[in-house]
A and B are shown apart, each in its own frame.
Chain A
Amino acid sequence: MNPGIGTVYRWELAKLRYQKRTYLGLGAAAIVPILFVVAIHFRHHDRHGGDFAFATYLTRSGLAVPLVIMLFGAVWMFPLITALVAGDIFASEDHNGTLKTILTRSLERQQIFAGKALAALSYAIAAILLDITVAVIAGSIQSGFHSLESLSGTIVSAPKALELVYASMAVYLMPIATVAAFGLLLSAITRNSAAAVVGTLMISLLFQLIGILPGLGGLQPYLLSTQFNAWQGFLRTPIDWSPIVRAAWVCAMYGVPALVAAFLVFLRRDVAGG
């Protein structure tokens, strides 16, 4: 069988199985919802909801738990988990000196780039899917698998709410893919894993900082950080598609140039080290 993008993709996933950072990110994704539910349990008697979406429903339906985690995870947890692999995937080849090893086989650079980019994105998707699924299960154990009140005040049945949770997650993956593109770019440019991971997180935090600066409110709809909330359109009756559509093009506006730049850097670079 001739090698191709699929070959690189499969081996990148295989390599991730042997690396500690893989389990660090996945472990965090699995543990955070459990810790969150434990915290809800101990605050159960308080009956005091927070001032964020769905906070008041946390003890009424376990299906509110993944939604609240998506809300808070956008600040740094999911960008960091995404950056852990995306920021490392080219830089680690420089660190190990293995770029020259794989570039002198039978695969074109563009195939290697595509396989690696897909693997980084797959990891981010897997981590978020794991997080949401653990949140649904842990939340349901704690607060029950009950119907959910939408942001419009209508009651959504539990099965329908579960469907909306995963649909929301799919929308959430758009800004996550953009963060991954930033990670790939920094990984290709810096050739340093730590710098790329921290840099990716800093970019994500920078968007949030701009979002809270006074006088820059007009930029809010076009910031990457805002797109992490686009999924809330699914929790309205009827579904509000406008934030979802905007998230699609705003994320593409940031993500596509970053991905193209990463591709060109990787394609044209001299491999003089290792």
Chain B
Amino acid sequence: MTEAPPVEVRGLEKLYGELRAVDGVDLTVEHGDVYGYLGPNGAGKTTSLRMMLGLIRPSAGEVRLFGRDPTATVEALEGVAGFVEAPTFYPYLTGRRNLELLAAFDGHGAPGRIDAALDTVELTPRAGDRVGGYSHGMKQRLGIAAALLRDPHLLILDEPATGLDPAGMRDMRELIRRLADQGMTVLLSSHLLAEVEELCNRVAIVRSGRIVYEGEIAQLKRSAGTTYRLRTTDNERALAVCQAQPGLNAVRSDNGHISFAAEERVVAGLSEALVRAGALILALSPETATLEHLFFTLTEDAEPAVQPETVAVPHPVAAPELQA
């Protein structure tokens, strides 16, 4: 594999007539990332992933996988595997026969990896059954097995846990974590924000075909600031102190509490000011924004759980030219 990033996307657009399904997407997945690609239904996630895999030609922009263009040659998919939407197979062939077919299409030693791939996804006992009789979860796992045949360095998975029962979702999450721990770069599209928060180190959040945030989850949370809940002996006086205190944002009174967003160092000064004002602190607890809160803040127009002004939405930055 080259030193080029596993995925580099610049100015990616896809138009269907008047509909702009993908609108100038820029993102970079670095080596070793478990990268979450988030967005509501119809935001253009799957279309973007299909363009990354060379299944759809972009209307504009470029995709590079390890520095190669997947729309020009299938050789760009060397070291890349995955699936978009549900993985699909020939229903009249057995699971093993499907993998044999795909391994033959892969070459490069893939047929020798069939047994190991089936073992990894725990499908060996059902490998001789026709795929037409598989459950949704089994097909998802067979999809992962089919990806592993390619001995990938980059795994692109579109909603891998969708439709699975809780145990299936847990197993899928553990499988992805195990693969990531082995050094595989993973680009993961998902609706399951808790799953993404648990698995991913970086995310791109897409809304109406456009990226509204790209970067580390930790950075996103930091930029959102921490929200605090405060209860004092005199909340009315405490509210006035908070509103006057520099560095406190989104101060409001709420069901016997005062909530505000602030950095930790500002909170130390606040406690001193409250004592001086005679409003003694009964409780002061930080509430870190979850990815779910931030996601809704970035993708919905309705009033979000986290105050919009506390979320640092990155300004569009001119993306560097792709290196072939």
- A104 to B78 CA separation, bound complex (whole angstroms): 10
Query: B102 to A101, Cβ gap below 8 A?
Result: yes
- A97 to B132 CA separation, bound complex (whole angstroms): 13
- A88 to B108 CA separation, bound complex (whole angstroms): 30
Q: Closest Cβ of chain A: how far from B12's Cβ, in Å?
A: 14
- Tell me if B296 is interfacial: C-beta within 8 Å of chain A: no
- Tell me if A270 is interfacial: C-beta within 8 Å of chain B: yes
User: Per-residue CB proximity of A106-121 to B under 8 Å, as 1/0?
Assistant: 1111000000000000
Q: Closest Cβ of chain A: how far from B145's Cβ, in Å?
A: 12
- A106 to B110 CA separation, bound complex (whole angstroms): 11
* Residue in B closest to A101 when the chains form the complex, CB atoms: B88
Q: Closest Cβ of chain A: how far from B102's Cβ, in Å?
A: 6
Query: A274 to B78, Cβ gap below 8 A?
Result: no
Which label, helix, strand, loop or mixed, suits the secondary structure of the B interface?
loop
- Tell me if B2 is interfacial: C-beta within 8 Å of chain A: no
Residues on B with beta carbons closer than 8 Å to the beta carbon of A108: 73-74
User: Per-residue CB proximity of B78-93 to A under 8 Å, as 1/0?
Assistant: 1001111111111111
- Tell me if B53 is interfacial: C-beta within 8 Å of chain A: yes
Q: Give the contacting residue for B88; candidates A2, A106, A107, A274; CB below 8 A.
A: A274
Interface segment among B54-62, B188-196, B283-291: the answer is: B54-62
- Chain B residues with a Cβ closer than 8 Å to the other chain, count: 34
* Residue in B closest to A105 when the chains form the complex, CB atoms: B105
- Tell me if A271 is interfacial: C-beta within 8 Å of chain B: yes
Query: B91 to A96, Cβ gap below 8 A?
Result: yes
Residues on A with beta carbons closer than 8 Å to the beta carbon of B298: none
Q: Which of B73, B82, B92 has the most CB of A within 10 A?
A: B92
Query: A15 to B93, Cβ gap below 8 A?
Result: yes
User: Per-residue CB proximity of A93-104 to B under 8 Å, as 1/0?
Assistant: 000111011111
- Tell me if B47 is interfacial: C-beta within 8 Å of chain A: yes
- A104 to B50 CA separation, bound complex (whole angstroms): 10
Query: A98 to B88, Cβ gap below 8 A?
Result: yes
- A144 to B150 CA separation, bound complex (whole angstroms): 58
Query: B105 to A102, Cβ gap below 8 A?
Result: yes
Interface segment among A3-11, A37-45, A175-183: the answer is: A3-11
Q: Closest Cβ of chain A: how far from B135's Cβ, in Å?
A: 17
Residues on A with beta carbons closer than 8 Å to the beta carbon of B150: 105-106
Whether A11 touches B108, Cβ cut-off 8 Å, given contacts A19-B92, A98-B88, A100-B84, is no
Query: B106 to A103, Cβ gap below 8 A?
Result: no
- Tell me if A272 is interfacial: C-beta within 8 Å of chain B: yes
Residues on B with beta carbons closer than 8 Å to the beta carbon of A216: none
Residues on B with beta carbons closer than 8 Å to the beta carbon of A18: 90, 92-93
Q: Closest Cβ of chain A: how far from B150's Cβ, in Å?
A: 8
Q: Closest Cβ of chain A: how far from B70's Cβ, in Å?
A: 9
* Residue in A closest to B53 when the chains form the complex, CB atoms: A104
* Residue in A closest to B57 when the chains form the complex, CB atoms: A270
List the 3 closest A-B pairs by CB distance, nearest first.
A97-B88, A105-B105, A271-B55
16 CB < 8 A contacts A-B: A1-B107, A3-B106, A18-B90, A18-B92, A18-B93, A96-B89, A96-B91, A97-B88, A101-B146, A102-B102, A104-B55, A104-B81, A106-B78, A106-B106, A270-B55, A274-B85
What residues of chain B have their CB less than 8 Å away from a CB belonging to chain A? Answer: 47, 50, 53-57, 73-75, 77-78, 81-93, 101-102, 104-108, 146, 150
Given contact pairs A105-B102, A105-B105, a sample of 5 additional A-B residue pairs in the complex whose CB atoms are under 8 Å apart: A15-B93, A97-B88, A103-B54, A106-B108, A274-B88
